[in-house]
A and B are shown apart, each in its own frame.
Chain A
Amino acid sequence: MFFLLQEAPANTTNYMIAGYTVIFGVILLYLLSLYIRQRNLKQDLEILEEDKQDLQ
């Protein structure tokens, strides 16, 4: 009967959801930033290499 006397854990599910939303949200934002920066750099590189060929 001991389990009947035990208190249930605190209801903190909302905080857990908020915590994991922040964790995955920031990771996804960082991955997106890496993708966008890389794409922009590739575009810059293409333009610069074209300019270099034109000059030669």
Chain B
Amino acid sequence: MGPKPIGLKILDILSIVLLLIATWMVFFYAPTEAVMGNVQRVFYFHVSTAWIGMLSFLVAAVAGIAYLVSKKTSWDIVEVSAVEIGIVFSLIAVASGSIWARPIWNTWWTWDPRLTTVTIMILIYAAYLLLRAGIDDPGRRARFGAVYAILGFLSVPLTFFSARLYRTIHPVVIGTNQPGATGAFDMTSDMRMVFFFSLFVFTLFFADLLWHRIRMGRLQERVEELKLQASEGTD
């Protein structure tokens, strides 16, 4: 693996600076919500991390298609990198949402359609990583991963639309809330600005993380190649 490209260095610095600005805006710029109080501030990064989770799985599905078409292992690396990041950010979204729910819904967890579908989505992708780890042949592993990432993506729109199609207490940001939605609020212009800025910053951060993870994947591929050569040489 060569030295860190200048583009990645710039993206690193930009991500850190913008994340700090977004954090400052969440705590000091955004107004306190009139009913929920300070816990509403969790919303800005909760939605942003959930967005990154879903975006990652979309990237993985696209990379899966690209792999099946081109058979280039670089797409397989993009795919597994995106899935890993997607799982991490989806878990953050679930955990932060659960903490928000405790004072607002009076419970840490409920088997509401949105929470159920997001759990299924995370389990599907966790199984992807586990099953991949069980396949030794790189070609077979990549083919299997590509098909799985494409099929697994079906769980993403299901999760996204679950709070819009089914009777749920989970509020939505875009679209009309269900009658039973608890914790919904009208965003002021300042809140909207912090919200969209956070989404933008996390998208940039995702690009940065993905680039790092892909570089690590290439390194891993090189190590596996050398290990294979070494084992063939000793046979």
Contacts and interface: CB of A to CB of B under 8 A. Distances in A.
A20 B230 contact: no
A12 B96 CA distance: 14
A30 B38 contact: no
Top 7 A-B residue pairs of the complex, sorted by shortest distance between their CB atoms: A12-B39, A9-B37, A19-B42, A48-B226, A16-B38, A15-B39, A12-B37
Nearest to A16: B38
A38 B216 contact: yes
Contacts of A27: 88, 92
B233 interface: yes
Contacts, number: 97
B82 to A, nearest CB: 14
Contacts of A13: 37-39
Contacts of A34: 209, 212-213, 216
Nearest to B219: A41
B37 A23 contact: no
A10 B100 contact: no
Contacts of B222: 45
28 contacts: A9-B35, A10-B103, A11-B37, A12-B37, A12-B103, A15-B38, A15-B42, A15-B99, A15-B100, A16-B39, A19-B39, A19-B46, A19-B96, A22-B99, A23-B42, A26-B91, A26-B92, A27-B92, A30-B88, A34-B209, A38-B215, A38-B219, A42-B219, A44-B223, A45-B222, A48-B226, A51-B230, A55-B233
B6 interface: no
A52 to B, nearest CB: 6
Contacts of A19: 39, 41-42, 45-46, 96, 99-100
Contacts of B215: 38
A21 B99 CA distance: 11
Interface residues of B, number: 38
B130 interface: no
Interface residues of A, number: 28
A45 B34 contact: no
A52 B92 contact: no
Contacts of B95: 22, 26
Contact of A23 (B33, B35, B92, B212): B92
Contacts of A11: 37-38
B159 to A, nearest CB: 19
A37 B223 CA distance: 12
A12 B36 contact: yes
A18 to B, nearest CB: 5
Interface in B95-118: 95-96, 99-100, 102-103
